[in-house]
Amino acid sequence: MYKLRELEREDLKKINKWRNDPNLIACLGAPYRYINEDVDQEWYDKYLHARSNSVRCAIVDEEKENEVLGLISLLNINYINRTGELHIMIGGSENRGKGIGTFAVRAMIAHAFNNLNLHRIELGVLETNAAALRLYEKTGFVREGVKRKSNYKNGKYINMIFMGLLKEECSMEASFKYEEM
């Protein structure tokens, strides 16, 4: 059984390993760079000071002593426009394709709409990340636009697809299916 819990300082060692994995970062919008543990400690400290407009959760497996499998975040929360930006990273390749991302996205959608009273969740995904595109479409996100050749990855420029989900478009029943996993 998977669950979300707030990110903890103890999670940083594992997250730092993921953030230094060039194959994983190649699938994400962020550029690859070497990140030492001190940088991640500072990143975490900044998060603690920005908790009013961000939510960072570890995705954990309760059956494996709360092993951290990934990270999902809702950032840049704007309480006037009631929007937030979704980001997700499933750490080890052995954990991909198992429904962990689907669980986490549905759980964060439910949290955003039902607890934070947001109206819209948005995200950007590399056009080359077919698995993420399928995940977002499966969980209700709609393609809204393309930022052409905006991200430089491994010597090539790649399009960024922008997607959004409005509260009224979202079946809350679908959002709560994560509890069944």
Q: Give the residue numbers annotated as catalytic, written as ranges.
A: 136
* Residue 106 half-sphere exposure toward CB, CA atoms < 13 A: 21
Strand boundaries in 9-155, DSSP class E? 55-61, 67-78, 83-90, 120-126, 142-153
Residues whose CB falls within 8 Å of the CB of residue 38, separated by 6 or more in sequence, listed in order: none
* Residue 172 half-sphere exposure toward CB, CA atoms < 13 A: 9
Q: What is the DSSP letter of 31?
A: P
61: number of Cβ within 10 Å: 16
Residues whose CB falls within 8 Å of the CB of residue 121, separated by 6 or more in sequence, listed in order: 74, 83, 84, 85, 86, 108, 109, 112, 113, 141, 164, 165
